[in-house]
Structure 1
Amino acid sequence: MVGRLRSLARFDALVLTALLWFLAKFLRYAFPPLFGTLQAEYGVSNAVVGSAFTALMLVYALMQFPSGALADRVGAVTVITVGAVVAAAGALALVPSVPFALVVAAMLLVGIGTGVHKTVAVRLLSQVYPAQTGRALGALDTLGAFGGVAAPAAVVALSTGPYTDWHAVFLLGGGVGIALAAAFAFRVPKRVPDSRNVAADGSAGVREYAALFRRPRFAVFVLVTICFSFAYNGAVAFLPLYLEESGGLSTVAASGIYSALFVVSLVQLLTGEASDRVGRLSIIGFTLGLAAVALVALVVVGEANVLVLGAVVAAFGLGSHGFRPVRGAYLVSVIPDTVAGGGLGAVRTLLMGAGALAPAAVGILSDVADFRVAFSVLAASMAAAAALTGVLVVIGDDADSDASGGRPS
């Protein structure tokens, strides 16, 4: 019994890192359900609240590279802890009667604080669990996905009672964030070897990061992630409307299928562990291929019954979510330790930029032509990602020859 408890205790770094990621997603996605409330309370328009949330997401995206580069110098634990405190401070600032200008400032703090987490967490978990990187990242991404699911429910539960309002969501989240940051700072350094708390010499510059992209295999995989991000974000943004207009479903049925897309994110636990056992490129190729086939099917089947469309969307979710943790595991296996944080940050900045452009592209194409044309473009992008992965599989990659996650020299 004692031995089993000790075995479980070694996952404390994973649990705390994943809980902080859950909270990061929770705080970010608690804002959209409150747009109507904010408009009514402050007398602002859709454009104003939408622009405020866009600002939050922009600062979130802009933090990817600098947070990774900073982690290369001062260590992942420090960056994650400070980021959690900043996000919690933003949440705690949302007290009753706060002016709208301070609401926007608090949103920016949440964006900055949560923006430093994922890039640095991927590197940290790969260091603490080198032989189980895929499994660890699968757990991280799965728990994070449910943070986005829990946020709307919490907004309803904590803002509709006779003695509560929407501020309670953030005050509670901020308090939990401070507690988790303290526990993380106390426990996790004990799990990270001293030599890995900081980069080898902390002297990496822009040229070292840029040199990564001159490596053909790395550049190809970055293109894979960009194609995937464009296809996935474009599909997710308009899937409910697509199912209604092109699939002939009711609003209720389309919403139900859309929810299922996120429920199947549990597959990340399986693909993450599978990548540790059979190799990362193989799992990446399979998951991207499944997602591409599902998007093609979504375009081809047209109006169909809810079961057929539900199965297609579930397949798309299984492939897309299954890819995520393996993508992170592969990247940390091919980026040298001295530029690991900044390298991951640079890649995440590119893929998030592509993802941000996708909804606008789909919206324009659907207006100019129709949704089938727009989703055909997304399917082509996902197919390109799968095909490029196939090229990497055929060429072979030293980093994938060892499923345990060792980096090439």
Structure 2
Amino acid sequence: MRVRRLATPALLAHAVLIQAVAFLLRPAAVYQAIQLGVPAWALGALGASFALVPLLIALPTGGLVDRVGARAVMAVGSLVAVGAAAVLLLAGGSVAGLLVGIALLGAGHVGCVVGQQTVVAGGSGGTRLDSRFGYYTFAASLGQAIGPAFIPVFAGGSVRPDPAPLFLVGGVLAVLLLAVTAGIRGPAPHGRTPEEASPGSTLGLLRVPGLARALLTSATVVAAVDLTVVYLPALGAERGLPAGVVGALLTVRALASMASRLLLGAATARLGRTRVMVGGIVISALCLVLVALPAPPVLLFVAVAALGLGLGIGQPITMSWLIERTPADRHGRALALRLAGNRLGLIALPSLLGALAAAAGAGGVLIGTGAAVGATLLLLRGVRLD
């Protein structure tokens, strides 16, 4: 795929919109759950519901992308996202409705993201691939900033806002997402016969040296991003922070991730992927702990901004590294395998940290997340990312 095709407004707009939908609807669902009396330790179930269905369908979705093309799968994913917003708006007054709506959102998200990443994956490798994934994830971070920015608009100074207007805005964005899909021009599906396809199963990709550890690192970092979306609102509610402040914190985190991704190609060309990845992990681990500690709002914003810089690095590096090590006709499957690992992390890490929420509240979960992110440095020992 040519760089000019990669940079089409439709693809980047699609990346922005799916993340905006997810990062608006999910905090809104947390506020709704809090209003329904769901305790902090049980909020991880919302994160798990976002991850469980995608975990089950990610690998088949990757195979489908390779066979029928990215745009068709992205269209289906966009339609499911519209349905998710409708369920949250109409049935979000119950815990069951919240869980179903967020599960549908996760399913739509995985279809859109695997399709987008497969489109991005075409072209040359090396630092140019880092740059392309950096620009793509920059667009995704822009969506992650736009989504929470609607919270202060509708919530004002309320600590526990009415989520219904947020669900409605998320639905409008999801309809736009579906419309934008028509303008995307992705690579043609391979449509190869089994005899022509590259040998080996999707899970067989795990035999690539260092791949399993790199995917586990990626899953932990993605889970850390996800847990900030769930537990920053919970932390704000515990400390009496207005919802507008929490929305601004989530937006600042996303903007900082945008900055790190925009400069990623230059950074990896100068320092190498390994050094950049290690630096991002160290910054992320330290700042997750700092965010959880009592501090004035100004210091909280500084810590969240640094956290965004660190968390923004892991995803594009692991994506470009993975693509360089897989055949072109298996890019969709490889990216889906990475996404499945990420979704497994979204289930496992919140479940492991749920006891901390019961004992130490949302701050305890964020500290535990920082420890988990820091521990991934051990996984990267001996892995050659460059």
Range with bigger deviation, 81-90 or 136-145: 81-90
- Please tell me whether the aligned partners of residues 227 and 350 of structure 2 are also in contact (alpha carbons under 8 angstroms): yes
Indicate the residue corresponding to 1:64 in structure 2. 58
Indicate the residue corresponding to 2:179 in structure 1. 179
- Please tell me whether the aligned partners of residues 64 and 115 of structure 1 are also in contact (alpha carbons under 8 angstroms): yes
Deviation at 1:125, TM superposition (A): 0.6
Q: How many residues align?
A: 369
Give the partner amino acid of 2:209. P
Indicate the residue corresponding to 1:225 in structure 2. 218
Indicate the residue corresponding to 1:73 in structure 2. 67
Deviation at 1:381, TM superposition (A): 1.8
Deviation at 1:277, TM superposition (A): 2.5
Deviation at 1:283, TM superposition (A): 2.0
- Please tell me whether the aligned partners of residues 121 and 323 of structure 2 are also in contact (alpha carbons under 8 angstroms): yes
- Please tell me whether the aligned partners of residues 52 and 347 of structure 2 are also in contact (alpha carbons under 8 angstroms): no
- Please tell me whether the aligned partners of residues 287 and 320 of structure 1 are also in contact (alpha carbons under 8 angstroms): yes
1:272 aligns with 2:267: no
- Please tell me whether the aligned partners of residues 96 and 167 of structure 1 are also in contact (alpha carbons under 8 angstroms): no
Range with bigger deviation, 315-324 or 144-153: 144-153
Q: After superposition, give the CA deviation of every residue in 1:78-112 in whole Å (9 maximum; x if it has no partner).
A: 32244335545766899999x99999988766543
Deviation at 1:314, TM superposition (A): 2.4
Indicate the residue corresponding to 1:3 in structure 2. none
1:289 aligns with 2:282: yes
- Listed as ranges, the matches of 1:153-232 within 5 Å are 169=169, 172-184=172-184, 188-189=185-186, 192=187, 197-198=189-190, 201=193, 208-232=201-225
Indicate the residue corresponding to 2:19 in structure 1. 25
Indicate the residue corresponding to 1:261 in structure 2. 253
Kindly tell me: are residues 268 and 76 of structure 1, through their superposed partners in 2, closer, same or farther at Cα, counting changes over 3 Å? farther
| Selected match of 2:140 from 138, 141, 144 | 144
- Please tell me whether the aligned partners of residues 292 and 386 of structure 1 are also in contact (alpha carbons under 8 angstroms): no
| Selected match of 1:119 from 101, 106, 114 | 114
Give the partner amino acid of 1:132. R
TM-score, normalising length from structure 1?
A: 0.70
Range with bigger deviation, 317-326 or 143-152: 143-152
Deviation at 1:176, TM superposition (A): 2.2
Gaps (5+ residues) in structure 1? 1-6, 401-409
Q: Distance in 2 between matches of 1:289 and 1:36?
A: 31
Deviation at 1:318, TM superposition (A): 0.9
Higher RCO (CA-CA < 8 Å; seq separation 6+): 2
Indicate the residue corresponding to 1:344 in structure 2. 335
| Selected match of 1:388 from 360, 379, 386 | 379
Indicate the residue corresponding to 1:364 in structure 2. 355
Kindly tell me: are residues 71 and 391 of structure 1, through their superposed partners in 2, closer, same or farther at Cα, counting changes over 3 Å? same
Q: After superposition, give the CA deviation of every residue in 1:260-293 in whole Å (9 maximum; x if it has no partner).
A: 3233122243343235634433321221122233
Q: Distance in 2 between matches of 1:165 and 1:387?
A: 44
Indicate the residue corresponding to 1:251 in structure 2. 241
Gaps (5+ residues) in structure 2? 157-163
Q: Distance in 1 between matches of 2:210 and 2:356?
A: 32
TM-score, normalising length from structure 2?
A: 0.73
Q: Distance in 2 between matches of 1:234 and 1:106?
A: 18
Q: Distance in 2 between matches of 1:11 and 1:228?
A: 26
- Please tell me whether the aligned partners of residues 129 and 136 of structure 1 are also in contact (alpha carbons under 8 angstroms): no
Kindly tell me: are residues 202 and 238 of structure 1, through their superposed partners in 2, closer, same or farther at Cα, counting changes over 3 Å? same
Q: Distance in 2 between matches of 1:37 and 1:218?
A: 39
Kindly tell me: are residues 129 and 308 of structure 1, through their superposed partners in 2, closer, same or farther at Cα, counting changes over 3 Å? same
- Please tell me whether the aligned partners of residues 232 and 355 of structure 1 are also in contact (alpha carbons under 8 angstroms): no
Q: Distance in 2 between matches of 1:50 and 1:304?
A: 24
- Please tell me whether the aligned partners of residues 271 and 325 of structure 1 are also in contact (alpha carbons under 8 angstroms): no
- Please tell me whether the aligned partners of residues 365 and 373 of structure 1 are also in contact (alpha carbons under 8 angstroms): yes
CA-based RMSD: 4.7
Q: Distance in 2 between matches of 1:123 and 1:139?
A: 14
Kindly tell me: are residues 90 and 205 of structure 1, through their superposed partners in 2, closer, same or farther at Cα, counting changes over 3 Å? farther
Q: Distance in 2 between matches of 1:285 and 1:318?
A: 13
Kindly tell me: are residues 272 and 126 of structure 1, through their superposed partners in 2, closer, same or farther at Cα, counting changes over 3 Å? farther
Q: Distance in 2 between matches of 1:93 and 1:250?
A: 29
Q: After superposition, give the CA deviation of every residue in 1:287-322 in whole Å (9 maximum; x if it has no partner).
A: 1122233345567xx544444444333222210122
Look up the SS of the partner of 2:337 in the other structure.
helix
Give the partner amino acid of 1:176. L
- Please tell me whether the aligned partners of residues 44 and 354 of structure 2 are also in contact (alpha carbons under 8 angstroms): no
Q: Distance in 1 between matches of 2:366 and 2:46?
A: 29
